[in-house]
Amino acid sequence: MAKSKTINVKGTEIIILSDGNKYEFISLTGIARHWDAERSDYILQNWLRNRSTIEFVGLWEQFNNPNFNSIEFDGI
């Protein structure tokens, strides 16, 4: 079961989930709410379309996903 905790960053609460072992996951939605609480979805959409973000996701997958298909990813 995932455990959660919150941190406060410049007045915005951000959730951090832990798998109970060695991984923690920070809420991107919480970070986006810091910039625009009403349109955090828009902030995330733009971030996911950013070339640097796509390149980062591709590298992360190469290092962490043994089933990663780089040929299919090239289409993104």
Q: How many domains does the chain have?
A: 1
Which of 23, 14, 15, 17 is CA-nearest to residue 2?
17
pLDDT tens, residue order, the chain (76 aa): 578 889 998 888 899 998 888 888 888 888 898 888 899 999 999 999 999 999 999 999 999 999 999 888 888 7
pLDDT at 31: 87
Range of the domain at 51: 3-73
pLDDT at 1: 58
What pTM was estimated for this model as a whole?
0.63
Which residue's structure tokens are 């989930």? 17
